[in-house]
Chains A and B, each alone.
Chain A
Amino acid sequence: MTPAELAQASNSAIYASMLVLTLAMVFFAFSFAAGRRKPAVVAAAEIVESEGSTAVITRTEVIDPFVPGRRSANIAMSLTWLGTALLLLGVVLRGLWAGRVPWGNMYEFSITAALGILVVFLGFSIKRDVRWLGIFIVIPALLTLGLAVTVLYTEAAQLVPALKSYWLVIHVSAAIICSGAFTLSAAVSALALVQGHAERKAAGAPVTGLTARMPSQERLQVMANRIIAFTFPLWTFAVIAGAIWAENAWGRYWGWDPKETWAFITWVVFAAYLHARSTVGWRGNRASWIAIIGWSTFLANYFGVNLFINSLHSYSGV
């Protein structure tokens, strides 16, 4: 393909992905709102048989929140897979067009970050049923893509010399996975707050309405905690890799540049989150708020520092 065709193909793939994701969003919304209000409880017991003896392993109650809306939820999940594949194609084509990793400016960071959000979610969905979470993932991914194609779009160009380093690949790929995982943890934490509110209102009775499709507040909090426990070391790694790169590029590993400062702030807030989870009186709603604040500091770093603050790291290309 010629460069112009590659460019065209990348843009088309990204627009197609946005279309498919929008459809996914509609189906997610429909599955959420459709059908009966009470979730079905399916009792499951796994039985291991071996000669002459029976072992019953872990009796669990599995709640299938999507008995009524199951079909649309499943369609939405398939569409999300398809949209993610198209987005991956768009990002790869963009890289081929530019002849380098597609992380040279904010447009490219943003389409890759949207990919990161979706991939982390889909990775999560392989192991557990998170269809109820889909809509809260597809919306931020679509917003990110929308912003990318409208405001941040730039033609592919050479990397500025400061970005020509294999540390770009290491540091930025870690940060992009973190962006997806932090978004996921913020979405789950926000839902935990909503569910907590619903549970308090129901005062012991089973919750009804839309939130009946979601796990209990406690389970949502545990889930957010797991995601952050996975993301925090990765973020620590991304910061360390950034410091090594800065040492190589500018002669100091830490200089309190605004970008570095906000990476540090995000790190400290999530460290506070992990402490809050083991502190009486903080592990509930307050911890959820801290997770949301942590994600906001990440966003502040990405949009605020890239676009509005004069930093050594200003590569927005806008």
Chain B
Amino acid sequence: MSEQLPPLSTGGWFRWIWRQFTSMRTALILLFLLAIASIPGSIFPQRGTNPLKAKEWITGSPTWGPILDRLGFFEVYSSPWFSAIYLLLFISLIGCVLPRAATHWRAMRTTPPAAPRNLSRMKSHAVLEGADSTAVDRAAEFLKAHRWHVLRGETDGATWVSAEKGYLRETGNLIFHLALILILVGVAIGGLFGWKGNVIVKTGDGFSDTLTQYDAWGGGRFADPAKLPPFSFTMTDFRVEFDRAVAQHGSPKLFQADVDVKANPDAALTSSTIEVNHPLEVDGAKVFLVGHGYAPHFVVRDSTGEIVYDDTVVTLPQDGNFTSTGVIKLPDSSPQLGFDVVFYPTLQPGSIVSGFPAPDFPATYLAAWTGDPGLDTGIPQSVYKLDKTNMTQIGRVPSLLPGQTWTLPNNAGSISLVGYERWASFQIAYDPGKEFALVAAVLALSGLMLSLFVRRRRVWVKMSEGPNGTTVVEIAGLNRAEGGDVSADIEIITEAITGKETS
């Protein structure tokens, strides 16, 4: 126990703390802490992936929301405590692995220790009687040929050979732990230089890769939004199919977007299809199809009879059957108008939700508002929400079918549903660290397998004189990993010795 007590000098203290910190026990505890610290992130909605839900949670629980928010429960994986745990773990790992690597390097270049006096105490042990006097020579030759590290010697009139094999076990362990650091480096490269953005594109419309075209864009500290790869594409067609069988009714069976792509403004146009699991790779970035929905087409006339709106409006799906909501804002018409739009791909009369995600019986619910939609206040507004503080509702219709027109009350004008189009949403991602991380992960896995499957073991062959002048050869082995069994090695060595004898 005395060695556990810290010495009193400062340097001694430091060394003592460092030794504790880089011990297996610390690694074990930190691993546990890491596992526990990961749990809240799977229970509370996270800002990174689910900003709306996170906000709802915080506002919905006035006491706990802000407290948990301050503690980082809605951004667990970038919170100070989570980062602290894994950084400590990795510092401990480096402090643990580097000295081990040095020790291992030395061990690989030295010979195994001499054979112990009493081999019969080993769990795996064999005795050969009446072998001839070259048995040890042949055993040593055989072991060398099979890449054992070999030491020969003589004690008390007995000649012996001592051999060790399986150094790759420790090598694999070191590779594994160092590769874990490399994975972290790969993740960090992606985090610092990578970016991703989201954009909604309607059938027939195009997209070119500049910051202003994105609905949302986020990048790492060193990602330069002014230098995005200059590709562009047009979505020429979009196909969706939904399951109509009773089981999994309405679940998606297929969605595909056909696009015409230009890798840069001067490149030739190429056609391609983007599907789930089949992203488009262009100029180092990847374009993923992540969602889709409907964009009903309306024509609006104001009180003067003039057409003030003739366009499709993107509506966002709210449920599995694509009951979708959106808004139209017309601040320059007279009177100033605004509409809440709900699009039902399959209207069920009497219900306020869609009955099926495919457009079997499309219709819209509309609510019309007059007044100032507040677009000139300078405060940025969502294009999917109507700010109704200075507006009043003038009427609504539960279901407007394609081709129908609703004449607004108070002589405010009219609105007609012309039809609908589809839109698809794309995520465009650039992660320069992912290949690095993959290589590191494969390296880690290979090291792990070496470390767990290679057996580090020692064997000894010892020749001495038996009771009646015969030669006795003893063969014994020891597995250095627990529970291992070296009897197979002993069998092979025995055969190597006896096999040659008979031939």
Interface residues of A (CB under 8 A from B): 48, 50-59, 105, 154-158, 160-162, 164-165, 167, 222, 225-226, 229-230, 232-233, 236-237, 240, 243-245, 247-258, 261-262, 264-265, 268-269, 271-272, 275-279, 281-282, 297, 305, 309, 317
Could you tell me if B187 and A240 are in contact, using CB atoms closer than 8 angstroms?
no
CA–CA, A225 and B483, complex, Å: 9
Could you tell me if A262 and B42 are in contact, using CB atoms closer than 8 angstroms?
yes
Q: Which of B109-117, B158-166, B248-256, B409-417 is the contact stretch?
A: B248-256
Could you tell me if A248 and B46 are in contact, using CB atoms closer than 8 angstroms?
no
Interface residues of B (CB under 8 A from A): 24-25, 27-28, 31-32, 34-35, 38-39, 41-43, 46, 48-49, 76-77, 123-131, 187, 196, 243, 245-248, 251-255, 275-279, 286, 288, 290, 427-429, 431, 434, 437-438, 441-442, 444-445, 448-449, 452-453, 475, 482-483, 487, 490-491, 494, 498-499, 501-502
Could you tell me if A53 and B243 are in contact, using CB atoms closer than 8 angstroms?
no
**Can you list 13 pairs linking A and B with CB atoms under 8 Å apart?**
A50-B502, A57-B487, A105-B248, A161-B253, A161-B255, A161-B277, A229-B452, A240-B445, A257-B49, A268-B31, A269-B32, A272-B32, A272-B35
B contact residues around A50 at 8 Å (CB): 498-499, 501-502
With A58-B124, A305-B42 known as contacts, the answer to whether A233 contacts B491 (CB < 8 A) is no
Could you tell me if A155 and B245 are in contact, using CB atoms closer than 8 angstroms?
yes
With A162-B276, A164-B277, A265-B35 known as contacts, the answer to whether A252 contacts B431 (CB < 8 A) is yes
Could you tell me if A155 and B434 are in contact, using CB atoms closer than 8 angstroms?
no
With A155-B246, A272-B35 known as contacts, the answer to whether A55 contacts B277 (CB < 8 A) is no
The distance from the CB of B428 to the nearest CB of chain A, in whole angstroms, is 8
CA–CA, A162 and B449, complex, Å: 31
B contact residues around A225 at 8 Å (CB): 482-483
B contact residues around A278 at 8 Å (CB): 24
A contact residues around B427 at 8 Å (CB): 250-251
CA–CA, A52 and B35, complex, Å: 61
With A161-B254, A262-B42, A269-B35 known as contacts, the answer to whether A52 contacts B49 (CB < 8 A) is no
CA–CA, A58 and B122, complex, Å: 10
Could you tell me if B46 and A256 are in contact, using CB atoms closer than 8 angstroms?
yes
| Other-chain residue from B243, B290, B434, B453 in contact with A158 (beta carbon distance below 8 A) | B243
Could you tell me if A248 and B38 are in contact, using CB atoms closer than 8 angstroms?
no
Could you tell me if B498 and A53 are in contact, using CB atoms closer than 8 angstroms?
yes
Could you tell me if A258 and B42 are in contact, using CB atoms closer than 8 angstroms?
yes
With A229-B452, A252-B429, A256-B48 known as contacts, the answer to whether A240 contacts B38 (CB < 8 A) is no
Could you tell me if B39 and A265 are in contact, using CB atoms closer than 8 angstroms?
yes
With A249-B277, A268-B35, A268-B38 known as contacts, the answer to whether A53 contacts B130 (CB < 8 A) is yes
Give the one of B34, B35, B452 with max A CB within 10 A.
Answer: B35
Chain A, Cβ-Cβ closest to B240: A161
A contact residues around B187 at 8 Å (CB): 254
Could you tell me if B128 and A161 are in contact, using CB atoms closer than 8 angstroms?
no
CA–CA, A245 and B429, complex, Å: 15
The distance from the CB of A280 to the nearest CB of chain B, in whole angstroms, is 8
| Other-chain residue from B32, B127, B277 in contact with A165 (beta carbon distance below 8 A) | B277
| Other-chain residue from B49, B196, B253, B475 in contact with A251 (beta carbon distance below 8 A) | B196
Could you tell me if B46 and A247 are in contact, using CB atoms closer than 8 angstroms?
no
Chain A, Cβ-Cβ closest to B447: A233
CA–CA, A256 and B76, complex, Å: 10
Chain B, Cβ-Cβ closest to A309: B42
The distance from the CB of A197 to the nearest CB of chain B, in whole angstroms, is 21
Give the one of B31, B131, B196, B501 with max A CB within 10 A.
Answer: B31
